[in-house]
Amino acid sequence: MSMKRLGFTLLVSLLACSWAGSVFALPRVNLVTIQGSINPASANYIVEAVEQSERDGADALLIELDTPGGLVTATKDIIQAILNSKLPVIVYVAPHGAWAASAGMYITVSAHVAAMSPSSSIGAAHPVSPMGGNEAPASPAADEDADEDEGEKSPLQTPALRDLSAEKAENLLAAYVATIAKQKNRNVEWVEEAVRNSVAVGETEALELGVIDLVANDRNELFSAIEGREVVVNGEVVVLALSGAQVVPLEMSLVQSVFDFLADPNVAIILVLLGGLGLYIEANNPGLLLPGISGFICLLLAMIAFNILPFSWVGLTLVLLGFGLFIAEMFFTSFGALFAAGALCLLLGGSMVFDQPELSDLTISFWSVLVPMVLGMTIFAAVVVFSVGRSMLGPSASGVDELIGQVGQSASILDPRGKVFVRGEYWNVEVADLKAAPIQEGEAVQVVAVDGLTLQVRRVGSS
pLDDT value for 151:
47
Bond into 291 cis (ω within 30): no
Bond into 438 cis (ω within 30): no
Spans of the chain, pLDDT less than 70: 1-25, 127-165, 356-361, 385, 388-401, 434, 461-463
Q: What are the beta bridge partners of residue 422? A: 425
β-bridge pairing 200-202 and 121-123: antiparallel
β-bridge pairing 246-249 and 28-35: parallel
Cα gap 208→99, rounded to integer Å: 18
Residue-wise burial string across 21-48, b where 16 or more C-beta atoms lie within 10 A, e elsewhere: eeeeeebbbbbbbbeebbbbbbbbbbbb
Q: How far is CA 451 from the centre of its chain?
A: 61
Total Cβ atoms within 10 A of residue 371: 14
- The enclosing H or E element of 116 equals strand 113-116
Cα gap 122→208, rounded to integer Å: 13
Contact 419, 411 (CB under 8 A): yes
List strands edge to edge, sheet with 246-249.
214-215, 113-116, 89-93, 60-66, 28-35, 246-249
Q: What are phi and psi of 118, to 5 degrees?
A: -60, 150
pLDDT digits (tens, 9 = 90+) for 403-444: 788 889 998 888 888 999 988 888 888 888 767 788 888 889
For the chain, report the end-to-end CA distance as a whole number of angstroms: 129
Helices (H) and strands (E) in the chain, counts: 15, 16
Cα gap 277→299, rounded to integer Å: 10
Residue 114 one-letter amino acid: A
Domains of the chain: 24-151+162-255 (3.90.226.10), 264-393 (no CATH), 399-459 (2.40.50.140)
Total Cβ atoms within 10 A of residue 9: 10
pLDDT value for 191:
95
Cα gap 415→386, rounded to integer Å: 46
44: which residues sit within 8 A by CB, 6+ positions away?
A: 77, 256
